[in-house]
Chains A and B, each alone.
Chain A
Amino acid sequence: MEAERSAYRYDMVNVRPGYIVVEHEVQSKAMRAYFSPDPVAPIEEYREGNRTWKHTATAQSIRFSIRDARTGEVASFDELLGLAFYGSCPKGSEVWEIGDLAQEHKVSIYVAVTGEAADGTRGGLAVEKLRVLNRYFNERLRDREKKILILPDRFGLYREFSHGHIMVDLGLTAMD
């Protein structure tokens, strides 16, 4: 059967369900988050050198790639933990203030929050990938005046991860 032809230049492909696992280090209280594609979210405590990591929270989420139909290129977004909408951030925070100003002009601000690499370093989303992500969502908007603007995480939002500002399914059963 022939695959359905998309009306758009960009399409979301290779969508994989999984979990964002948030954990903390027992001594230093450092926190980090990563994506797990396992069928069951890992919650076991483990040692890494002289550091011990314990489970803090789990959220259901997805991993995906975006394919450019014009070039055939597929960009993977494995480093993306989630998107944070300005309106889900605390009122008075930098993101909220910028977002609230922009929303008056029908520009919706989101922040792309990335996770840590295996070596503990944190790289943002490459500008070219941000461009692709912005194009993907904007080309689907039906209101020509409306815009989605996804920014790099220059706000340190990854630290707020376990507070539910990021669009993942944290506390799904709590419904609060």
Chain B
Amino acid sequence: MTIKDLAEKLHLKTLNSVADRPVTGVYISDMVSDVIANAKPGNVLVTVQVHNNVIAAANLVDVSGIILTRGRKPADDMVALAEKAGIPVLLTDLNSWQVASMLFEAGLR
């Protein structure tokens, strides 16, 4: 499954370019230090954090994309930074638990 497939399946709003990057799993966290230590390359990151440092951590561990939950809207500079780093940023009004359930149903572990 790719991040593009996920965006379509979960009806996520896309804020920048979404490439066909394979998704290898899911990591849910609102702490950048936790993401750095525990997220795996190819994971999709589910978070409510909209600080630029989320892009910094996501880029460092090479996640396939970020899903911002609970309607959190990032500033334009965060989206621009994500675009430069090639990290798709997706939005939903659902909370992280609801998104996690849908990702599980979609076959991700």
- Asked if B53 is at the interface (CB within 8 A of a chain A CB), the reply is yes
CB within 8 Å of B: which residues of A?
Answer: 12, 15, 17, 60-62, 64, 83-85, 87-88, 100, 103-104, 106, 108, 110, 137, 140-143, 146, 148, 164, 167-169, 172, 175-176
Query: Quick one: CB contact mask for B28-46 with A, threshold 8 Å, 1 for yes?
Result: 0011111011000110000
Contact present for A83 and B62 (CB under 8 Å):
no
Contact status of A12 and B60, CB under 8 A, knowing A87-B81, A142-B42, A172-B30: no
Interface size class for chain B? 20 to 34
CB within 8 Å of A: which residues of B?
Answer: 30-34, 36-37, 41-42, 48-53, 55-57, 59-62, 72, 81, 84-86
Contact present for A87 and B36 (CB under 8 Å):
no
Contact present for B56 and A176 (CB under 8 Å):
no
Chain B residues with Cβ below 8 Å from A137 are: 60-61
Q: Distance in Å from the Cβ of A139 to the closest Cβ of chain B?
A: 10
Q: Distance in Å from the Cβ of A105 to the closest Cβ of chain B?
A: 11
Closest to B84 in A: A103
Contact present for A167 and B32 (CB under 8 Å):
yes
Contacts A/B (CB < 8 Å), 17 sampled: A60-B31, A83-B56, A85-B60, A87-B52, A87-B55, A108-B85, A142-B42, A143-B62, A143-B86, A146-B86, A148-B59, A164-B53, A167-B32, A172-B30, A175-B48, A175-B49, A176-B51
Docked complex Cα distance between A83 and B55 (Å): 13
If A88-B53, A164-B53, A169-B32 are given as contacts, then 9 extra A-B residue pairs at C-beta distance below 8 Å, sorted by A number, are A60-B31, A60-B33, A83-B36, A87-B81, A110-B60, A146-B62, A168-B32, A169-B33, A172-B30
